[in-house]
Every structure is written in C-alpha cells, then in structure tokens.
Amino acid sequence: MEQKEDYFLRANNLAIGYDKHVLPLHENINVSVKPGQFTCLLGPNGAGKSTLIKTLCGFIKPMGGQVWYGNEKIERIPEIQRAKKISVVLTDRLDVQNLSVFELVSLGRTPYTGFFGKLLPYDIDLVHRAIEEVGLKGYALKSIDKMSDGERQKAMIAKALVQETPFIILDEPAAFLDLPAKIEIMQLLRRLSKEKNRGILLSTHDLDMALQIADKIWLMAQGKTLQEGIPEDLVLTNQFKRFFEREGIQFDNFTGSFKYHKEIQKEIILKGEGNTCDWVARALNRMGFATVAQGSNYRVEVLQDATSQFALYRSNKLVLQCNTIEALMDGVIKSFAAESKN
C-alpha cells in the first residue's frame, strides 16, 4: 500500500513552544505520520509532548518551521477543512450531564452536517457502526457521566472515527486508566489504524506498552533533539538508554524494561525451578541479594513439599520452613542480621 508522501502529516524543521519571548521548547523536529501507521510519542512528563501534539493539530502556531498536510500549511487550512483532516482525543475531561454516547459520537459528524447539525441516515448509520467498532455496542443511549473512564475514552475514539479524518491524534489517551483498560485502548487504536488505514499518533509515558505495540516511536525529552525510529532500532542503538536513564534507574536492553538499580550486598544460593523460583529470585533481588549457584553459606530451596513451599538453610542447617515468600524474606533478613552481629 504505497501512498503519496504529500499526504502524510509532516513536520518540517518545526520549533514548538508557547511563549514568543522565550526560547522554543524544541527545535528541528522533522517527523511525519503516515496513514495506517501507529506512532507513539514517548517522553517523561514535562517533555513537551502536549505542546507538540497541539502544534500538529493546529491549536497553537509553530514558533518556527511548518506542519504540512498536502501542499498546505496546517494553520492555513480553513477550520472546517482541517476538521476533515485531523481528529483529536484530548485530555480535557468531559463533564456534561445527560449526554448520551450516541449524541457525543454524532458530534464527530459536525464538519459534515448542515446548519442545524441534523444527521442524515448515512450519518446515523456511521455513528452506530463506530460505536460498535470501539466495543460499546448497546451503549448508544447510555449517558457518558454514568460510564467508566475507559468507556468514555472509547466513545471519544468513536467520535474521532466518524470524523473520517486520515489522521487521529490522541493526547495521553490512557493516562488515567487502569492497566487492563489501558491495554484495551491501545490494542483498539492499533487495530483501527490497520483496519481503517488511519495514521494514529498518541502521546504516552508508558514505555513498556509503546515498545510492544508501536510501529514507530518518537522519543522526546527536555533539552534533547527528538529522535524517531522503530522500537527495536531505538533499543539496539541505545537511544532509550540515553533518553531515559537517570540516577538509580537503568534501562535493561535485554528485557526492554526499566530496572531500579540497587546495590547488591550479599549473595545467596537459590535452588529450585519454575515460575515460583523466578518470583523468589525477584523478591530476593529487591531486598538486595544476588542469587548464585554456589559460594554462599545461605541457601534457599523451593520445595515441591505438601506441608511447606520454601526452606532456608545456613551452612547446610535448616533454619526455616514456610509457605509464603514474605515469611521466607523475614527469615533471610533475620539470619543475616544475626550473623553480622556475631
């Protein structure tokens, strides 16, 4: 599916910021959103993600450079035409009573309806289909103030769908959702970008999710030039490390996630296998113990015993048997403390 580059949403040497009297937040931004591509704009809070998004939508003017769609600058496109090019889902909270999902979604048809905003049968059909596509079937008449945050966000996405724009831009669409709802929204957006060939750009600070789901990632951090690439390249070229590492936080190129950097003080032998063993190792790491195969007085065994699951040995003598990792950790800490006293 080859598209003409003219119809990408393109930022050309873009400089963004709010205040003319101070330096731009970011300069030299050269990126583009393509139809059918799922892009995540990733950066810590305060990096300027919202500002970039608002500039791309045409809400605020660029401080330098341009945003192009076709052969027109985005801020030069008349409002009503722009409304047919880019739709948005913002962080603004909706606080309207008695607004049904149908009414909310049908507002997405505003650029196409006549003077009184009356919906034609085609519009009504489109609205109902969009409500189904985002997974809100049966919710059409439900009032949005009686829905969960996740459901409301889906309704906003349906609104963006019926706006029939080649691009959809979302500012932190999953910011205040719990984890399952977050994953659901992200998967929904990815699916829509593929099925409907929409170019979707969303900002997030959830690195794990972006790495797993994005076609392309834009990395943004204060005082650094915006970097773009596919997730794998960004990991392998250490871009992630450079962008996000701070004191005490380490990006693990191997697992693709962050680790809290802790000083390892003591070593301990861990015997056993399977999932349980992994979680014990994790708990031990968190307490500052490195797990080794040999070379320590201390040994933890994960048992397949009916009466107890874990056993702790010191110098091959049984210290403790227990059923929870919590009790095991207590035991480990106590016996290490006892040793250091002696």
Partner 1 sequence: MQGETAKSRKNFAYIALAVLLLSLFVLNISLGSVYIPFSVVLKWMVGLSIESEIWQNILLKSRLPQSITALLAGAGLAAGGLQMQTLFRNPLAGPSILGISSGAGLGVAVVVLLFGAIQGVSLAGLGWYGSLTITAAAFIGAFGVLLMILFLAQRLKNNAMLLIVGIMVGYASSAIVGLLQFISTKEDVQSFVLWGLGSFNNLSWDKHVIFIPMVALGLLGSLFLIKPLNVLLLGENYAANLGLNIKRSRLSILLITGLLTATITAFCGPIAFLGLAVPHLSKGIFKTADHSVLIPAVMLFGGALALLCHLIARLPGFDGTLPINAVTSLIGAPIVIYVILKRRSLTQ
Instruction: Please give the residue ranges that form the binding site for partner 1 (CB under 8 A).
Output: 57, 59, 79-84, 86-88, 90, 92, 94-100, 102-104, 106-108, 110-111, 113, 115-118, 124, 140-141, 143, 146, 163
Minimum Å distance from CB 72 to partner 1?
Answer: 15
Minimum Å distance from CB 162 to partner 1?
Answer: 11
| Cα 162 from Cα 108, distance rounded (Å) | 6
3 state DSSP class of 13: strand
* Cβ closest to partner 1, residue 80 vs residue 264: 80
* Cβ closest to partner 1, residue 74 vs residue 280: 74
**And the tokens for 255?**
């697992």
The two beta strands, 38-42 and 216-219, are: parallel
* Cβ closest to partner 1, residue 85 vs residue 216: 85
* Cβ closest to partner 1, residue 59 vs residue 279: 59
Helices (H), the chain: 49-57, 79-82, 101-106, 121-133, 149-162, 179-195, 207-213, 231-236, 239-244, 275-286, 325-341
3 state DSSP class of 205: coil
* Cβ closest to partner 1, residue 33 vs residue 217: 33
**And the tokens for 97?**
């009573």
Minimum Å distance from CB 88 to partner 1?
Answer: 5
Q: Identify which of 305, 337, 312 has the alpha carbon closest to the alpha carbon of residue 326.
A: 312
* Cβ closest to partner 1, residue 119 vs residue 327: 119
Minimum Å distance from CB 189 to partner 1?
Answer: 17
Residue pair 119/109 in contact by the 8 Å Cβ criterion: yes
| Cα 110 from Cα 112, distance rounded (Å) | 5
| Cα 72 from Cα 53, distance rounded (Å) | 18
* Cβ closest to partner 1, residue 5 vs residue 95: 95
Residue whose pair of structure tokens reads 């393509």 in the numeric block: 34
| Cα 43 from Cα 233, distance rounded (Å) | 17
| Cα 285 from Cα 268, distance rounded (Å) | 10
Minimum Å distance from CB 69 to partner 1?
Answer: 14
Minimum Å distance from CB 122 to partner 1?
Answer: 15
Minimum Å distance from CB 218 to partner 1?
Answer: 21
